[in-house]
Homo-oligomer: A and B are copies of this chain.
Amino acid sequence: MRPSRLPVLAAIAFLTPVLGARSPSLTGFHPDRVAEQYNLESRFDALIDVDEIGEWIERMSARPHPVGSAYGLDNAHFMVDKLSEWGWEARLEEYRVLFPTPKLRRLELLGPEGFVADLSEGPVENDPTSEQSAEQLPGYNAYSIDGDVTGELVFVNYGVPDDYLELEKRGISVEGKIVIARYYGSWRGIKPKVAAEKGAIGCLMYTDPEDDGYFRGDTYPAGGFRPSQGIQRGSVADMPLFPGDPLTPGVGATADAVRLELDEAPTLTKIPVLPISWADAQPLLEALSGPVAPEGWRGALPLTYHLGPGPARVRLQVEFNWDLATAYNVVAELPGAERGDQWIVRGNHHDAWVNGATDPVSGMAATLAEAQALGALYRQGWRPRRTVIYAGWDAEEPGLLGSTEWVEHHASELGEHAAVYINSDSNSRGFLNVGGSHTLEQFVNEVARDVTDPQTGVSLQRRLRAAMILSDEPEDRERAGGGGDLPISALGSGSDYSPFLQHLGIASLNVGFGGEGDYGQYHSIYDSFAHYERFMDPGFHYGAALARVGGRMVLRLANADRLPFEFSALASTVAGYVDEVEELTETVREETADENRWLEEGLYALAWDPTDDWIAPELEEPVPFLNFAPLRNALGRLQTSVEVFERSRDDARRLPVDVAADLDRALYASERALTRDHGLPRRPWYVHHIYAPGFYTGYGVKTLPGIREAIEQRSWDEAEQQVDIAAEVLAAAAEAVDRAAALAASE
């Protein structure tokens, strides 16, 4: 916490962003309007009040506020009141969603020695909200089923499919066992899903201090990292199937919605699950014997990590109140003056597992600061060309419920009107981090060019470029060193952009700062204001920076003469994905051939330590050659269309009003083109065929997901079908670009 180290330059730079004098171009703006827009942004920046951001973070994180809580509703009312006061048409939109809370949580090590897990976190010094035990939800995983299971324990590392391959090589099955997995390495919901697929009867998840604890840095409250008793709460619904309310897939969970019975709900876990601290995990891991875990599996606890099974035997009991709760989404609008039927949507969730100063309030407070400044500009006479909608989502934590239900409920209007969705969530000191639709990569770079980093006084883009050039990743160095636009990442899941992007095909961005906070409070009672102001963003300067980024994006999207979509980054990025899936196929083919040959030659039996109980893998079917030609042809077509669009579009040309509106619609339809109504195999809710969360990674993105996951699962027929589908969506995107080019060129 050294706010005094902020260079004076930065403080000045906030108020004087690059002005018309240098007049860089702004995609989508007529050159004559660029100076005016910069002037507006300058006024906007001046309206961001860093102290107020801090006050709102403190206010909204003052008490625990998960969905269904009194303080969650209080926060929702606070935001509606503020937004209304600032000139927005603000309202609550309510959904009734399944939200289980714990009735019984008990974990006992039955032998060789006895131990009963504590399962509590407890207050720490100088963190007053850590004492609010009466209102805190204890450590649990939402959408674990009820259960009372007893069995031998097996350590499964991160609990992802590859980990089970390692166990199988050692002849270890989890059938009828209780697994203990460490957090990280995948989204948490993957762990009980895979464990159940492998026959386990229960799943414990613990935080290893290597991933999130003393190995990273000093623990709370001395430092910001997770203490021994810290528990990571979190959802374990099968979100890669669909997010949102488990009882109302695909439709808004309105009061009168048709609901599934609990026992029909496909996203609940198949086995009971409980998250524990490493203080509770250590006696369990110490009680395991069997083979020593592979080197990469060993964490930072002072013990030898063994795989088991047993002799540790545990009994796990969990029971939940299977109640519905009301999710209160805050929704506020500023009407568009000219193209009011085109919506720019901006959101952040407001519910927290406990106090949530970082997650989500740090992002929510910045979003409010944007809304306050936009409201002030509006009251001063500014009128957005397009309609602006600001949202505070409830019930994100249990599984993106507030946003998903809203999106499902308003699917047809959003499908027609929503041009772009901009999400944020947790925020901290560090580097700008943007993921999303590559049609907006150039747009994002223009914003990053024009906002100043609070610590260094240079543009966000320049600081990020410096870090990428010094990165250990050759790809980052090459991309950043070239001097062009910096890449944005593809989005998987993990926050409220998912329903917009992946269920409706609305071009989306997720924005935030990070990398320099001491982030050890995630989903624990220690995600408090006390923690936030010491370890995440002292002085709230990055809260203000996020408001400048998010608000500037909205201002440009709302005001532009045409929506600032560009397609060359989409084409080149997808070309990279096509290379990747082709290379993946080659790699799998070569590895399969090698491994089959080694098996036939008996090499494993010779190389492995014969005192271990190794089991050689089975022979695999040889990998066929796949026909990627349709995809290459479609990509070529897209690239041609992109070139035509780039020649035809000219932001200096003034189009007739109706043509301009049609052009906008053609532009944002390009993202819809990347979807198919039938969705992805086995998960029709996910309709986007370029970006999806991985079926076995969770938050982690899979690009060209249909093809990539079919290859990973060795489903060769499905891979070829998915190549054809991906070719279709690229051809459809090319058509959308062609339409846009034709409109842009019209007189």
Q: Which residues of A contact B (CB under 8 A)?
A: 2, 5, 209, 214-219, 223, 225, 292, 298, 300-304, 455-456, 458, 462-463, 466-467, 469-470, 516, 598, 601-607, 609-611
Q: Which residue of B lies closest to A610 (CB)?
A: B455
Cβ B456 vs Cβ A292 within 8 A = no
**A610 cross-chain contacts in B, Cβ below 8 A:** 5, 455-456
Of A209, A603, A609, the most chain B CB neighbours within 10 A belong to A603
Q: Which residue of B lies closest to A225 (CB)?
A: B304
Q: Can you pick out 15 interface pairs between chain A and chain B where the beta carbons lie within 8 Å of each other?
A: A5-B610, A209-B302, A214-B303, A214-B304, A216-B304, A217-B292, A218-B304, A219-B304, A223-B304, A302-B302, A455-B610, A456-B606, A466-B602, A470-B604, A516-B611
Known: A5-B610, A455-B610. 20 other contacts (CB 8 A): A2-B611, A5-B611, A209-B302, A216-B292, A216-B304, A218-B292, A219-B304, A223-B304, A225-B304, A300-B300, A300-B302, A301-B302, A456-B605, A458-B606, A466-B606, A466-B607, A467-B606, A469-B598, A470-B607, A516-B609
Cβ B304 vs Cβ A466 within 8 A = no
Main secondary structure of the interface of A (DSSP, over half): loop
- CB of A444, distance to nearest CB on chain B (Å): 19
**Which 7 residue pairs spanning A and B have beta carbons closest together?**
A466-B606, A467-B607, A466-B603, A302-B302, A466-B607, A455-B610, A214-B304
Of A458, A467, A603, A606, the most chain B CB neighbours within 10 A belong to A606
**A606 cross-chain contacts in B, Cβ below 8 A:** 456, 458, 462-463, 466-467
**A2 cross-chain contacts in B, Cβ below 8 A:** 611
- CB of A534, distance to nearest CB on chain B (Å): 12
**A216 cross-chain contacts in B, Cβ below 8 A:** 292, 304
**A601 cross-chain contacts in B, Cβ below 8 A:** 466
Task: State how many copies of this chain the complex holds.
Answer: 2
- CB of A590, distance to nearest CB on chain B (Å): 12
- CB of A93, distance to nearest CB on chain B (Å): 41
Query: Considering the chains assembled together, what is the distance between the CA atoms of A603 and B303 in angstroms?
Result: 41
**A5 cross-chain contacts in B, Cβ below 8 A:** 610-611
**A302 cross-chain contacts in B, Cβ below 8 A:** 209, 214, 300-302
Q: Which residue of B lies closest to A606 (CB)?
A: B466
- CB of A208, distance to nearest CB on chain B (Å): 11
- CB of A37, distance to nearest CB on chain B (Å): 27
- CB of A286, distance to nearest CB on chain B (Å): 10
Q: Which residue of B lies closest to A518 (CB)?
A: B292
- CB of A519, distance to nearest CB on chain B (Å): 13
Cβ A298 vs Cβ B604 within 8 A = no
Query: Considering the chains assembled together, what is the distance between the CA atoms of A604 and B218 in angstroms?
Result: 25
**A463 cross-chain contacts in B, Cβ below 8 A:** 606-607
Cβ A217 vs Cβ B304 within 8 A = yes
**A214 cross-chain contacts in B, Cβ below 8 A:** 302-304
Query: Considering the chains assembled together, what is the distance between the CA atoms of A605 and B453 in angstroms?
Result: 13
**A209 cross-chain contacts in B, Cβ below 8 A:** 302
Query: Considering the chains assembled together, what is the distance between the CA atoms of A466 and B467 in angstroms?
Result: 42
Query: Considering the chains assembled together, what is the distance between the CA atoms of A633 and B301 in angstroms?
Result: 56
**A217 cross-chain contacts in B, Cβ below 8 A:** 292, 304
**A458 cross-chain contacts in B, Cβ below 8 A:** 606
**A611 cross-chain contacts in B, Cβ below 8 A:** 2, 5, 516
Partner of A603 from the list B225, B304, B469, B603 (CB cut-off 8 Å) is B469
Q: Which residue of B lies closest to A516 (CB)?
A: B609
